[in-house]
Amino acid sequence: MAAVTRPQPELDDLPASSPPIDPWAQIVQGFDGNRSDLVPVLQRAQSLLGYLPPDAVRRVARWLRLSESEVFGVATFYAQFRFTPPGRHHVRICLGTACHVKGGVQMLETIQRRLGVGAGETTADGEYDVERVACLGCCALAPVLTLDEAIHGQMSVLKLQGILDAEASA
Amino acid sequence: MRAATLVRHVDEALAKARDPRAYITDDGKAEIRICAGTACHSSGRPAVTAAFKEELATRALVDTIRVVETGCHGFCEQGPIVVLWPSGLFYPHVRPEDVAGIVEASIVNDGVLQKRLYKDPETKQRIAHEKEIPFYIGQRRRVLALNGKIDPYSIDDYLAHGGYTALAKVLTDNDPAGVVEEIRRSGLRGRGGAGFSTGTKWYFARSSHGEVKYVVCNADEGDPGAFMDRSVLEGNPHVVLEGMMIAAFAIGASEGYVYVRHEYQFAVDRLRKALAQARERGIFGDGVLGSEFSFDVRITEGAGAFVCGEETALMASIEGRRGMPRTRPPYPAVEGLFGKPTNINNVETYANVPWIINHGADAFAAEGTPTSAGTKIFSLTGKVANSGLVEVPMGASLRHVIFEIGGGMLPGHHFKAVQLGGPSGGCLPESLLDEPIDFESLAAAGSMMGSGGMVVVDDSTCMVDFARFFLTFTAEESCGKCAPCRVGTGHLVSILDAICAGKGELADLDRLERLARVVKSGSLCGLGQTAPNPVLSSLRYFRDEFEEHIVQKRCRAVVCRDLVVYRIIPGKCTGCQRCVQVCPTEAITGPRADAHNLDPDKCIKCGSCYEVCRFDAIAGDAILIESRGQHAD
């Protein structure tokens, strides 16, 4: 490993965070505390917490001996990281080339009209968050969107309305 | 270590790495090969696999036939794909309810289930075998040879098909400089887009002084509409790892990184498992295959920034910083990851390396053209009949790929343009379809090889809107470090926005061209330097469409929202009220059985009524979307 391993600060030295991040030990498990661990640690934090609350950014910064602004700067550079809690349901709309050509924008607009929130936002009741992605990589199924784990291909405005209706009445 | 001892060590180690109890494909036992690529997964692969297993269990056939989940077969649009082995019978679009019939017809008996076979869209003939399908006939699957054949989770399967023999060869020959020379002689060029000579790159990295050197695999495949690298990683992760290892041996590196998009969860998972298996068998880690060479790889998941496909940005990202490019020189071969000499190549480039070592540089160079050797994988999508993954020799014509392998346009669609190279590439018109696909020809035509995205569009795509789509993408993905890219791409988008909204002027076209040249020549990295290509190529081949938008305020493809109107044709409308029900803004009114009214001021042009009229309503074609300044009826 080329990067120098820094001495790790004791976790007990850190001020008690509020609210406490329970899976903290899980977040840093297996990492050496190198600068190059920053992105993977943030990824782990997000996968456990659902998003990056300010407290997580703070603790990661202290753990890696970086300033919070540095960590925040890196985190905001990458599209993967979110700083607000996700909704209970997660809608991803693909706006890649193939989906654009086949009407992906209309899917996004339909979602906006129905849920009242746009890409990068979460509905006020915390039910849905909406994300637009550049390509889900199943272009043969365009236009594509995902609702939680389910992939819905060859969508149309009407099919999407049907899916949202079914969800609403479920 | 003396040469003879080394050869013996490596041979023994490779033999020992095989688990004789493990199953391997192609060992004579009958197989059901189910494509487990992302597209087939999305269209229902898990249920199909479960159905086959259940059916075999019911019929007590579990011991005589094996179910194998393989990597991508390439014909993604036909998924889930099932191929029976050794018969080679090809069943597309398999649903769980078809499984019993397929097992009965083709496994228990020696026949075919005629109605589930692939139907050639052109001849309407049913085709039984994979090798007879036009989509596969025109291809030359070399990198993808084992995709669709082996189980990507099984290192034994890869070993049984000649895996890691290229590595054993370079270790026993023990001539790193000779490996570099072999790759250089083969004429292999980078498959990530820029097309730089791989051998030359390795030569520079080998010549650089340093105790520590790195090998990096760029699997940050960010171009929308491109999935070549993902399919290779999903279908055959070991071939990429083997290529990296050979590169590491050649340049003297002991550590490597694969930088792969976090969105590619299947690829990440298969890569991790492949690596773990290879470590377990002594192929990765200290003393590779009993030699004195050590090498290991880490997998870094990209966090979603398109610019990280640029090599210096990618390295910054691995280092835990914002993924922003820097000026070159120094090139990574001299000063790369963590400031050390680094060789960085794309997935497909590494995947070609074992083949070259096994078959020789001359055999590799024999395929393709004098300046672009070998084969190239393309992901063919859009309005083409057969979309999927295609591997052809360099120098094949676009027409061959689109019309023979791709089966031409979908019925009722007329070819307008093919977009190559993703957001960095350009659109080529019908008149250039006979151009050979090689690095130089495509660049001369104003497009580029790029990583291999190939999107076919028809008359329903507006070239101005299409150019705007790509520019919007690059403008959003610009990292903001240099002004020509950050400010320039934003301005290009705003000019294109105005043209699409019917607010452009003819002088805008000159502005676009001038600004595009500035962005191209002034930007720091490849992202900015290629970002204007979609605009420049569209202006070169489809200038009349730009002029129509500006002068006549007309969008012939009826795409640009501000230039189209929705209209109900009174004579055709039966007054069925379906459109009234779906209109989100109450723009359509009218009593049942009377022709409806559409209020253009309320209409938001969402397309719901058009869709419902075509598919659900009695009339079927009573709603018309037309461009301003044109009359129909």
CATH architecture of B162-365: 3-Layer(aba) Sandwich (3.40)
Q: Nearest CA to CA, how far is B384 from chain A (Å)?
A: 10
- Contact: A42, B461; criterion CB under 8 Å: no
Contacts of B255 in chain A (CB under 8 A): 1
Contacts of A119 in chain B (CB under 8 A): none
- Reported as type and span, the H/E element at residue B564 is strand B564-568
Closest Cα in chain B to A3: B338
Q: Does A112 touch chain B (CB under 8 A)?
A: no
Q: Does A137 touch chain B (CB under 8 A)?
A: yes
Q: pLDDT band for A5, please (50, 70, 90 cuts).
A: very low
Q: Which of A101, A131, A149 to mutate to test the interface with B (most CBs of B within 10 A)?
A: A101
Mean pLDDT of B321-340: 96
Please name the member of B304, B320, B340 whose beta carbon is closest to the beta carbon of A38: B320
Evaluate whether B375-458 and B463-552 have a shared fold: no
A110-167 pLDDT, tens per residue?
999 899 998 888 999 999 999 988 777 777 778 899 998 888 888 888 889 889 989 8
B390-399 pLDDT, tens per residue?
999 999 999 9
Question: In the predicted model, is pLDDT for residue B486 greater than 70?
Answer: yes
Task: Report percent pLDDT > 90 for chain A.
Answer: 49
Q: Does A1 touch chain B (CB under 8 A)?
A: yes
Closest by CA to B281, choosing from B23, B3, B68, B20, is B20
Separation of CA B380 from chain center: 8
CA A144 – CA A165 distance, rounded (Å)? 18
In single-letter form, the type of residue at position B211 comes to E
CATH 3.40.30.10 fits A89-169, yes or no: yes
Please give the angle made by the CA atoms of B283, B288 and B290, to the nearest 5 degrees: 110
Tokens coding B535: 């605009």
Mean confidence (pLDDT) of chain A: 84
Give domain limits for chain B: 30-137, 162-365, 375-458, 463-552, 563-627
B9-34 pLDDT, tens per residue?
888 888 888 888 887 888 888 999 99
Please name the member of A74, A95, A98 whose beta carbon is closest to the beta carbon of B382: A98
Q: Does A157 touch chain B (CB under 8 A)?
A: yes
Tokens coding B592: 């049942």
Q: Does B264 touch chain A (CB under 8 A)?
A: yes
Please name the member of B322, B339, B470 whose beta carbon is closest to the beta carbon of A74: B322
B506-533 pLDDT, tens per residue?
999 999 999 999 999 999 999 999 999 9
CA B415 – CA B420 distance, rounded (Å)? 15
DSSP result, A52-100: --HHHHHHHHHHHT--HHHHHHHHHHSTT--SSPPPSEEEEEE-SHHHH
Q: Does A38 touch chain B (CB under 8 A)?
A: yes
In single-letter form, the type of residue at position B250 comes to A
Q: Which fold has domain B30-137?
A: Glutaredoxin (3.40.30)
Q: What is the CATH number of domain A11-77?
A: 1.10.10
Q: Nearest CA to CA, how far is A115 from chain B (Å)?
A: 13
Q: Is B370 exposed, middle or buried (0-12, 13-18, 19+ CB in 10 A)?
A: exposed
- Contact: B304, A96; criterion CB under 8 Å: no
Contact B587, B567 (CB under 8 A): no
Give domain limits for chain A: 11-77, 89-169
Question: In the predicted model, is pLDDT for residue A76 greater than 60?
Answer: yes
Q: Does B479 touch chain A (CB under 8 A)?
A: yes
Q: Does A78 touch chain B (CB under 8 A)?
A: yes
Contacts of B230 in chain A (CB under 8 A): 137
CATH 1.20.1440.230 fits B463-552, yes or no: yes
Q: Nearest CA to CA, how far is B67 from chain A (Å)?
A: 24
Q: What is the CATH number of domain B375-458?
A: 3.10.20.600
Closest Cα in chain B to A72: B322
Of how many residues is chain A composed?
170
Q: Does B79 touch chain A (CB under 8 A)?
A: yes
Task: Report percent pLDDT > 90 for chain B.
Answer: 76
- Contact: A43, B607; criterion CB under 8 Å: no
Q: Which fold has domain B563-627?
A: Alpha-Beta Plaits (3.30.70)
- Contact: A158, B612; criterion CB under 8 Å: yes
Mean confidence (pLDDT) of chain B: 92
Collect all residues with Cβ–Cβ distance below 8 Å to A159 and sequence separation of at least 6: A152
Contacts of A161 in chain B (CB under 8 A): 582, 608
Question: Could you say which residues from 182 to 241 on chain B have a Cβ atom under 8 Å away from some Cβ of chain A?
Answer: 212, 214, 222-227, 230
Closest Cα in chain B to A140: B77
CA B33 – CA B228 distance, rounded (Å)? 20
Task: Report percent pLDDT > 70 for chain B.
Answer: 99
Contact B467, B426 (CB under 8 A): no
- What's the order of all strands across the beta sheet hosting A145-147? A128-133, A89-94, A145-147, A150-152
Q: What is the pLDDT of residue A7?
A: 42
Closest by CA to B242, choosing from B352, B150, B146, B399, is B352
Of how many residues is chain B composed?
633
Question: In the predicted model, is pLDDT for residue A19 greater than 70?
Answer: no
